Amino acid sequence: MANFKFPKNFLWGGATAANQLEGAYNEGGKGLSIFDMVKFVPKEERGNDPEMDVRSEKELEELLSLGDGENFPKRRGIDFYHRYQEDIALFAEMGFKVFRMSISWPRIFPNGDELTPNEEGLAFYDKVFDELQKYGIEPLVTLSHYEIPLNLVQKYNGWADRRVIEFFVHYAETVFNRYKDKVKYWLTFNEINISQFSPYIGSGILIDRVEHKEQAVYQALHHQFVASARAVKACHEIIPGSQIGCMLARMEVYPETCNPRDVLTALEEDQKNLFFTDVQVRGYYPSHMLSYFEKNNIQIKMFPGDEEILLQHPVDFLSFSYYMTMVASGDPAKLKQKGNFSSGILNPYLETSDWGWQIDPTGLRITLKKLYDRYEVPLFIVENGLGAYDKVEEDGSIQDDYRIDYLREHIKAMGDAIQDGVDLIGYTTWGCIDLISAGTSEMSKRYGFIYVDQDDYGHGTLKRTPKKSFHWYKDVIASNGVNL
Ligand code: P53
């Protein structure tokens, strides 16, 4: 028996995103999204840069001319669009209390800037929410999970243009009104900090169109902060009793040594990561960031009323993804390497996943304590898990003990943090059913409790098979975190 207790109404479940799951990218009147344009690049051919970026008009035009003969895995996802009933039945069998998903913005507004929504898109999510309701599963819905309508990129350079705020708020109000009786839990932007790494995925910016990259990214983020606060306001007005949160890719940073220079660098990297939640939870720009802007010649253009809206409409809870921790050094010779977020410096105390992500359950406890100390609002872990290669045995089973080990240790760390006094309201593991990787577009980087028969090139029957971890997680939920 574990020596900790999860709260009675703890929200256990799993997490997904439309762009990695639904497929049917051109069905039901859906417009193109930014991730529909990202091609699969085999591992051997990948450079050091994140592969998910599209940088220029020219690159985009080339991709548009390729057509479906090329390999665009996010266009096909795992066909949840046609198989949602079967998939939700499996989530229900595991006992999910909550299911995190996103609405694909271009399913509702194919071009992003029109006034009238696409009824077929709205009707699809009605069916999904009704199906969840049938089993008593609460939806937790992300408004924007890397699904910016492509037209907004082409016409406005994405969030760099202030007009996009109005389009987003109109989209948010449309779905709040439509689903007000079905959805209580919402998130505004998934991993809002990702723009620091990929301006295209986070903010829909083609970087060759701007002169000063950081300036454009932080201006776009300002627009996103304002849009997020306005969505919070609208959500509370339209859906009484609703709860809406922000979402951060949490990057806990350790100093490489106790050399104060390393400690200072780690602190500064941490501040840069927490800047986002500082704005969205506290409601104003932190002074450390204003000073960073000044030092780097970045001027944020604010309109009258922006500061008020941020201050008056902070989020109800803070949600985050947690996969790994980083190590920072103050030694300029050890500059952080680029590429899929993994910092260049290895932590000798930690093991690494097949994708170089450093596995750190204790880091989750540290992060929970730190976030709660800083903000004192409810926390929600909306992504965590192990991307791994799975092997189908001759008898058809998948023995994913490595995944169970990973999740068990992280759940223990959550239990410890709760005992330490942290207010944690839920936990949704990432990719509860195998789906397309955000970072690499691989199908073979699997996170799920449910195996999906499909390879990186789209071959396979798409058959769903519960893995060993499926039965394990079912017991975790049934025992409210006691049987691990
Ligand atoms: P994949 C990088 C680092 C941490 C989280 O990622 C990240 C990324 C982007 O690759 O994104 C989140 O699929 C994201 C999900 C994504 C998941 O982490 O690259 O919110 O959409 O699938 C895992 O292994």
Residue 438: CB within 6 Å of ligand 1? yes
Ligand 1, atom 17, residue with closest C-alpha = 438
Residue 432: CB within 6 Å of ligand 1? no
CB atoms inside a 10 Å sphere around CB 299: 11
Residue 339: CB within 6 Å of ligand 1? no
Q: What is the Cα–Cα distance from 189 to 228, expressed in whole angstroms?
A: 7
Mark the ranges of the chain whose per-residue pLDDT is less than 70.
Answer: 1-4, 48-51, 335-343
**22, 52, 437, 446: residue to mutate for ligand 1 pocket, most atoms within 8 A of CB:** 437
Q: Does ipTM top 0.90? A: yes
Ligand 1, atom 10, residue with closest C-alpha = 439
Q: Nearest CA to 381 among 365, 398, 360?
A: 365
Kindly state the tokens that stand for 122. 């709205």
Residues 6+ apart with CB under 8 A from 5: 415, 418, 480, 481, 482
Atom of ligand 1 nearest to the CA of 50: 10
pLDDT digits (tens, 9 = 90+) for 243-295: 999 999 999 999 999 999 999 999 999 999 999 999 999 999 999 999 999 99
Residue 139: CB within 6 Å of ligand 1? no
Supply the DSSP symbol for 120: H
> What distance in angstroms lies between residue 7's CA and the mean position of ligand 1's atoms?
28
Ligand 1, atom 19, residue with closest C-alpha = 439
Q: Would you call 383 a catalytic residue per the annotation?
A: yes
Q: What is the pLDDT at residue 48?
A: 67
242: helix, strand or coil: coil
Residue 341: CB within 6 Å of ligand 1? yes
Please pick, among 383, 393, 394, 409, the residue that the annotation labels catalytic: 383
Supply the DSSP symbol for 31: P
Domain ranges of the chain: 11-478
Residue 437: CB within 6 Å of ligand 1? yes
Q: What is the pLDDT at residue 332?
A: 80
Q: What is the Cα–Cα distance from 192 to 382, expressed in whole angstroms?
A: 14
Q: Which fold has domain 11-478?
A: TIM Barrel (3.20.20)
Residue 17: CB within 6 Å of ligand 1? yes
Q: What is the pLDDT at residue 401?
A: 98
69: helix, strand or coil: coil
339: helix, strand or coil: coil
Q: What is the Cα–Cα distance from 95 to 102, expressed in whole angstroms?
A: 20
DSSP string, 293-344: HHHTT------TTHHHHHHH---SEEEEE---EEEE-S-GGGPPPPSTT--S
> What distance in angstroms lies between residue 407's CA and the mean position of ligand 1's atoms?
17
> What distance in angstroms lies between residue 433's CA and the mean position of ligand 1's atoms?
15
> What distance in angstroms lies between residue 142's CA and the mean position of ligand 1's atoms?
14
Atom of ligand 1 nearest to the CA of 430: 17
Antiparallel, parallel or unpaired: β 351-352 and 358-359: antiparallel
